[in-house]
Amino acid sequence: MVMEDNIITSAQNPKIKKLLALQQKSSERRKEGLFVVEGRRELMHCVEAGFEVDSVFGPPAPQGGGHPGGYKLEVDGVSVDIKCKYFEVSDKVYEKIAYRGTTEGVIAEVKTRNLTLNSLLPLGGGREGGSPLFVVLESVEKPGNLGAILRSADASGVDAVIVCDPLTDLYNPNLIRSSVGGIFTVPCVACSSEECIAFLKENNIQILTAQLQDSSLYYDIDMTIGTAIVMGTEATGLTPQWRKAADAHIRIPMLGKLDSLNVSISAAILMYEAVRQRN
């Protein structure tokens, strides 16, 4: 049962205005220490990763699973009771705040959790021999590309994705949607390129930069040891500091007339080469 005070029927409600601001503005997310998750499956990944849910907004029963003390989340027969504030919203208000319409039935405000490079220690992710596999992205700009890379990182068992000098924040709603929850299942750290290079060098992780110039074919390089695959932007590639820091430069053969692949496709190819070598 939802208390009357927790029923929202107007899009002008301050709580709805705050939710919309969190969806639209990275500055608001930083100020409030909150981000927005839409969808039952994404929220389940979020909860399973240990994130703390502040509030849940859902349509009227029977779709909603809200009660005064929190929200009952059910996905594929798995049920989790989340301690949080629950607000029942009218169908009209839900259509205003939902990207996907009314099909998913849940939108949540979740407390941010910013991982650091040191949170990745000890290295190895449980791999025999402690040989971690990282994907490093310099100045990633498009949330959709980062989201797609996180999905591939989850599928290929990458230990972490490190975003250097990011141009989009890690809690951008488009990133969360495109990653289908991969932002929660794969540790993701934002830092400067200088910090990342120092971290990788200190921990004896080989740096492989993806570039066309002065490079070897990717499948000729040993990726069974601790490895960081470093990707730049599609427009400008990697900056000189990464090229200089690299232990090897690698490339994907281009047999057609075009000289570039989408960065998320390139990253997936290189991740799965590491999987092939390690299995």
Q: Is 272 helix (H, G, I), strand (E, B) or coil?
A: helix
Q: Quick one: what percent of the chain has pLDDT higher than 70?
A: 91
pTM of the model: 0.90
Which residues share a beta bridge with 72?
81
Pairing mode of beta strands 206-210, 227-231:
parallel
The predicted pLDDT at position 2 comes to 47
Instruction: Let me know: does 217 contact 269? Beta carbons within 8 Å.
Output: no
Q: Is 26 helix (H, G, I), strand (E, B) or coil?
A: helix
Query: Average per-residue pLDDT in the chain?
Result: 90
| Block residue for tokens 């025999």 | 128
The predicted pLDDT at position 91 comes to 86
The predicted pLDDT at position 164 comes to 97
Q: How many CA atoms lie within 13 A of 251 on its CB side?
A: 13
134 falls in which pLDDT band (50, 70, 90)?
Answer: very high
Domains in the chain and their CATH numbers? 4-111 (3.30.1330.30), 117-278 (3.40.1280.10)
Mean pLDDT of 67-90: 88
The predicted pLDDT at position 126 comes to 47
Q: Looking at per-residue confidence, does 139 or 66 come out higher?
A: 139
E-strand spans in 39-77? Answer: 53-58, 66-67, 70-75
Q: If residue 265 lies in a helix (H) or strand (E), which one and from where to where?
A: helix 263-278
Residue 201 has pLDDT above 80, yes or no: yes
The predicted pLDDT at position 267 comes to 96
The predicted pLDDT at position 64 comes to 57
Residue 1 has pLDDT above 50, yes or no: no
C-alpha–C-alpha distance, residues 23 and 192, integer Å: 25
